[in-house]
Amino acid sequence: MIKTLVSRTWKFFKSFQLTIVLLACLMALVVLCTLAQVNMGTQGAVNAYMRSLFVWWRTPALPFPLPVFPGGGLVGLLLTLNLIAKTLDIQRSWAKAGMWLVHSGLVVLFAGEFVAGMMQVDTNMSIEVGQTVNYVQSYKNMELAVIDTTDPAWDEVYSVPDTLLAKGGSIAIPGTPLTLNVKAYYPNAELSNLPTGAPPSMATAGVGPGVSVVERPTVTNDNEMNQASAFVEPMASGRSYGTWLASIALGAPQSFTHEGHTYSLSMRLRRQYLPYAFTLKQFRHDVYPGTDIPKNFSSLVQVVNPSQKESREVLIYMNQPLRYEGKTFYQASFGKNDTLSVLSVVENPGWLLPYVSCVLVSLGLLVHFAIVLRRSLKRRQDKKEG
């Protein structure tokens, strides 16, 4: 009974029909995901169609979403299992060495996409000419930065991620006497002047009391940004410092002082500080003579890494990224009349896997071709002799 079940499962996973169905699903997903990008933005569509187990459909008639189509995650997983089953099914003989290599290469390619999907981190670095920057920041994820600005040379930055704010409750800030009571968190909100006669704001300190906050649905479109906002009450040694409104829409930090330490609060895009820093020495935006058509964008940066005792100039330009300490820095955008350069930063621990896959597949095809050629030549020779 169990043997039959295992045998059937095995047969199912190695069936060629499964491959065809899954490839068809993948094609449909690519089309759907491409169309969905119009409304959902690139990242929103990729998350909904490609990096999920199911494509969900929400309808007001039902309180829960319905799975309507297998997502890229499920199709990819089944395709990988199908491919592994097929690979294991190949004869273990030298005559099939090429096929083994080709199939292993494909498994590595699939694994690479899973690693990218789960572990790739996309951030960016914006630097103005002359400025030195030692962090990259997220495109969408937020953080509430509680910064002890007391020291004249250093800032002690405590980052509270938006995911933690969303849980609410009390958040102790380790290394400080502070505890933050999250009174409300809105992943997206619209801020405006508090109209006369409107109910008072939840905030009692800073600029918050004069600002009205209305929650809005979150956006995923590339051109829009969620205006994450939160009402937080810092507490220290049993004392409340009032309720503050922190929002990405409020650019500058607000601050309070506790026992000689000044703490500033600001909602901002999540930062990842680096053990090295980039200084933008020059940004070039060349156009073809007599036109506004861009010819080249390039950033000349000074990379300073004290731990490696390294200080060198690097030119980053289109299609010529800098790979450094596990991150790849691409020239992505610019602004402020060509005095600001934006580098897109990608960290993918599996970036080498597609290259390994290509090598394995190419090698596999060569080996297979050589084996078949040898067999064919031998057959021809045998015929002649016979």
- Which residues inside 296-335 make contact with other proteins, applying CB under 8 A? none
Is the CB of 71 or the CB of 206 nearer to other proteins? 206
In the region spanning residues 16 to 35, those forming contacts with other proteins, defined by CB under 8 A, are 16
Distance between CA 311 and CA 277 in Å, rounded? 10
In the region spanning residues 86 to 145, those forming contacts with other proteins, defined by CB under 8 A, are 86, 88-91, 99, 111, 114-115, 118-119, 128-132, 134-135
Task: Report CA 120 to chain centroid distance, whole Å.
Answer: 5
Sole binder of other proteins in the list 26, 32, 74, 81 (CB under 8 A): 81
Is the CB of 14 or the CB of 140 nearer to other proteins? 14
Is the CB of 208 or the CB of 321 nearer to other proteins? 208
In the region spanning residues 194 to 233, those forming contacts with other proteins, defined by CB under 8 A, are 194-196, 206-207, 210-211
Is the CB of 53 or the CB of 363 nearer to other proteins? 53
Closest listed residue to residue 45, CA positions, set 22, 29, 68: 29
Is the CB of 36 or the CB of 180 nearer to other proteins? 180
Contact (CB, 8 A) for 41 and 1: no
Under rule CB under 8 A, how many of the chain's residues touch other proteins? 72
Binding flag, residue 295, other proteins (CB under 8 A): no
Amino acid letter, 95? A
Distance between CA 282 and CA 133 in Å, rounded? 14
- Tell me the β-bridge partners of 296: 286
Q: Dihedral, CA atoms, 173, 179, 184, 185, nearest 10 degrees? A: 0
Contact (CB, 8 A) for 218 and 227: no
Is the CB of 173 or the CB of 316 nearer to other proteins? 173
In the region spanning residues 168 to 187, those forming contacts with other proteins, defined by CB under 8 A, are 171-175
Binding flag, residue 249, other proteins (CB under 8 A): yes
Question: Within the chain, what is the greatest distance between any pair of CA atoms?
Answer: 106
Binding flag, residue 356, other proteins (CB under 8 A): no
Contact (CB, 8 A) for 73 and 81: no
